[in-house]
Amino acid sequence: MLKESYEVLNRLRLDNGLYIASPSQYYRYVWIRDCVYISLPYLNQPDDVYERTYHRLFDLFKEYEWKLDILCRQKPTWEWEYLHARYTSDGVKEIHTENWGHIQHDMIGAFLYAVGAGLAKGKPMLRDEKDREILQKLVYYLQNVEYWNDPDNGMWEEWREIHASSVGACAAGLKAIEPYVSVPEPLINAGIDRLLELFPRESQDKDVDLAQLSLIYPYRIFQGMLGEMIVNRVETKLLRQRGVIRYEGDSYYSTLEAEHGRVQPRQFYYGTEAEWTFGLPWLALCHLELGRPDKAEQYVARTESLMKESPGILPELYFAGSDRPNPNTPLGWSCAMYILAKEELLSFQSKNEPAAV
């Protein structure tokens, strides 16, 4: 199913190298975070698909450099003052027709991490000194907003809290680009200290969250016993038949949302939360990081079972306890996570095959 999954990503890729999240009418936008995750399968490939994504994102940051310059000097007050998370697919412009939770420090951390990962692989991520200057300004931006203290909307673009997944993304991103621009060591340490204060929680409101898996893969902040604790908590509280719920009491596409909206207390939605498909390959990747290929193989197989009728096609989520997907099908992020998990598993198995006698 790898071939079909790559074909999905090819269809979602715009001519400029960025990706729309899904061809659905609701997700036909460019999210910086989605572009990062969707691009990761191309990191180890010899073509230029990977770096083209980031060259266009650098151009995006250049277009809004005036905003970045302000954010490097003074802290923002309103959500729209921050660097935006979502852009039009046509022209890659900010969207001002609706309110949005744009305060997403994890997307900046993810961008920095991916640029650093590309540079470490020898890819030409920085075309010129201007790209390097933008990279440096993003460091100053995270420093000025105090990412470890500034509540953000998080990976799910919801209410503001200090999220472990956001803090971890920034700390990992800063560490990844440390060899290429100036990154004060205390800037990274502040994030790690905050992570340890929050551990094992995602935030004050959320005891456990699917987003915490990012602290194991791709960021590799928590490994060993700490990584195992995160995975165990996700599996115990959030794992479902066709995916992983984001957190307990999630109202987004809850089976109660259509009738009651998303305004009820979280406890109201317990047991009705949507099952996100990328949680399964994400768990596979985490188990590979933790040295458990047998568990990873099980999660890859569970992911593939969702694609039996439509190879390569994974929806964003399924309604609780059902095989009914939501309209955001296929979701590029889900397809990319499957590719990453499958290829990592195949690589591990090929390296550990018994020697022929």
Q: Give the helix ranges, DSSP H, for 146-184.
A: 164-177
C-alpha torsion sign, points 98, 101, 104, 107: negative
101, part of any domain = yes
Residue percentage of the chain with pLDDT more than 90: 91
Weakest-pLDDT range from 96-100, 112-116, 295-299: 96-100
- Tokens representing 190 are 């502040």
**92 and 56 Cβ atoms separated by less than 8 Å:** yes
305, part of any domain = yes
- Tokens representing 337 are 């996570």
355, part of any domain = no
296, part of any domain = yes
**What are 273-307's pLDDT values in tens digits?**
999 999 999 999 999 999 999 999 999 999 999 99
Q: Per-residue pLDDT for 34 more than 90?
A: yes
Return the number of other C-beta atoms located less than 10 Å from residue 150's C-beta. 18
| 284 half-sphere exposure, CB direction, 13 A CA radius | 28
Report pTM.
0.96
Residue 121: CATH number of its domain: 1.50.10.10
356, part of any domain = no
Mean pLDDT in residue range 322-338: 97
Cis peptide before 311 (omega within 30 of 0): no
Mean pLDDT in residue range 24-47: 96
20, part of any domain = yes
For 158, the domain range is: 2-348
CA atoms of 152 and 149, how far apart (whole Å): 9
CA atoms of 357 and 355, how far apart (whole Å): 6
End-to-end CA distance of the chain: 32
Reported as type and span, the H/E element at residue 275 is strand 275-276
What local confidence, expressed as pLDDT, does residue 327 receive? 96
354, part of any domain = no
Total domains in the chain come to: 1
What local confidence, expressed as pLDDT, does residue 355 receive? 55
**127 and 134 Cβ atoms separated by less than 8 Å:** no
102, part of any domain = yes
Weakest-pLDDT range from 17-31, 89-103, 136-150: 89-103
